[in-house]
Structure 1
Amino acid sequence: MSQQILKKVLRDKKQRMTAQRELILKVFIESKGQLMSLDDVYMYIRRRKNHKTSKMTVKRSIDLLEEIGIIKKIDFEDGPPRYELVEEFADEAKVLLICENCGKAIKMDLDIEKLKSILPYENMEIKDFDLKIYGLCTECK
């Protein structure tokens, strides 16, 4: 999703594009699908030079981006919620590998057709899925 699409969506919702919103969108684009918490986004921005955005501004921007459908919240109920860009692809779904110790989440894409070939459900048409796999990451083993 590009900044141009965000600008159009914000304009349609009668919101304006601010430097902070644009920066937060850029953080999610650069994350390449990685799930990020509010703190992750805030710390990423703080590490950049000349960016002194408050944590509350980051939270309000994330809330707005979630409300208008640019990002979505994923809550594992094991700590803070994480966020990701909304994907535009209907033929790919998510598999999340979640570390039970540190909470790190790694996202993988799995083709629905491949899933259909390994599941024994002949009487069900699979349209979409989300799969969470819990375990320990290499750092926590």
Structure 2
Amino acid sequence: MGLLQGLFGNYSEISKEDLESKYAHFLIEGEVINTGFKLVRDNLIFTNLRIIDFDKQGATGKKMRIHSIYLDTICEVTCETAGTGIDDSEITITYIKSPYKKAKEIILAVKQFEFPKKFDVLALYVQLETIAYKNVKQLNA
């Protein structure tokens, strides 16, 4: 089922131990892996500081693009739950891409992640929405 989910563009959850053995050397000081997901060759990891998107490229997958979204830059989260049939669940994160949160002009970026039906996307949504709420509250203080 994992390959089938991957072909549909859905992440499937993988164990924290597996993630730590493969990706611990990418963590910064004080960072801890909370959970992670796999999409065919790519991985998505949630830590206490950021969301790390590992995009393996090329025929061998040795080339890799790593993109981080720092949790303190997330300002909006939307969630779409799975319906009937082959629908999936989606979480869309809007985050501040400009280096200064209190700049006169803030640059925003959007990243969307798709998950299979069996994954409890609502729990992840609530966690991310809590982070977004705190960030927006702090920005407007």
If the length of structure 2 is used for normalisation, what is the TM-score? Answer: 0.28
User: Between Structure 1 and Structure 2, which shows a larger proportion of strand residues?
Assistant: 2
User: Between Structure 1 and Structure 2, which shows a larger proportion of helix residues?
Assistant: 1
If the length of structure 1 is used for normalisation, what is the TM-score? Answer: 0.28
Greater gyration radius: 1
